[in-house]
Structure 1
Amino acid sequence: MRIPRSERDRGQTVIEFVGVVPLILLLLVALWQCALVGYTFVLAGNAADEGARAGAAAEGDGAGACQAAARRELPSSFQGKADCAPDGGMYRAKVTLKIPVLIPGVLNSFPVDGSAAHVKER
């Protein structure tokens, strides 16, 4: 007795789907982690820019104004530090953030630096 051709391949689609789903999920996790890396770079650059602008316009404590402005631009979930200092006629700010890791223990969170400078206002 021969089995009809339509009956022989009955479970093949399910087996292929189950085999490919973990690869698709792994790809989605990797893409999401890449998005987190890019977002962190954007946040660090923007915070440094706002900090340098505030430090350049401040009358008095430029470093305090710079750090406060840089921290104001960061979401509460991002931990970072801001280094601000005048440099000649410029005011420079450097913000360092740690990239959030989607799966803890898989990647070590490495720091991202964003820096900016503005002309000191007199």
Structure 2
Amino acid sequence: MRTPARRGAGDPRSDRGQVAIEFVGTVPLILLLVAAVWECVLIGYAFSLAGNAADEAARAGAVHGDAGRCEAAAKEHIGEAWKPRVECGEAGDIYRVKVTLGVPVLFPGLDFGEIDGTAGAALEKEAK
């Protein structure tokens, strides 16, 4: 009686190593997906930073009426890697602030665009 032949390492129809080949093929796709998710996280964090910095700066500007304090308050919560630009000024009875941050590519410092955060606060002036 003849035993059936088993497929082994020498058989060209063998699927040994198939998992390794599929793993090597999918690793770049997985890494690309992780990088895309990380980029989305950084963009969302940049929006959050810009909005918070604009709020803090508008409050400081409305209370003190000083563009220097406004800019300092905005940059207090943002690292220099985000390349912040702050525009402060009065617009009628509102103190308006615009904070612009660079949109990072995988890490802050390497940018491909900008994100703006704007805020306004009512001026606090003493009644005469």
Is 1:64 the counterpart of 2:59? The answer is no
Pairs within 5 Å for 1:79-98:
79-98=83-102
Q: Which residue of 1 aligns with 2:77?
A: 73
User: Aligned in 2, Cα 1:102/1:119: closer, same or farther, shift over 3 Å?
Assistant: same
TM-score by length of structure 2 reads 0.83
Gaps in structure 2 of 5+ consecutive residues: none
Gaps in structure 1 of 5+ consecutive residues: none
Equivalent position to 2:32, from 14, 26, 30: 26
Q: Which residue of 2 aligns with 1:41?
A: 47
TM-score by length of structure 1 reads 0.86
Structure 1 vs Structure 2: percent identity of aligned residues? 50
- The count of residues paired between Structure 1 and Structure 2 equals 117
Aligned structure 1 segments of 4 or more residues deviating by more than 2 angstroms:
1-5
Alpha-carbon deviation of 1:76?
Answer: 3.0
Alpha-carbon deviation of 1:101?
Answer: 1.3
Q: Distance in 2 between matches of 1:118 and 1:108?
A: 30
Q: Distance in 1 between matches of 2:67 and 2:56?
A: 12
Q: Distance in 1 between matches of 2:80 and 2:113?
A: 18
Could you give the per-residue CA deviations for residues 83-112 of structure 1, whole angstroms, max 9, x where no partner exists? 000111110000001012128xxx961010
Bigger proportion of residues as strand: 2
Q: CA RMSD in A?
A: 2.2
Q: Distance in 1 between matches of 2:32 and 2:46?
A: 21
Q: Which has the larger radius of gyration?
A: 2
User: Aligned in 2, Cα 1:53/1:75: closer, same or farther, shift over 3 Å?
Assistant: same
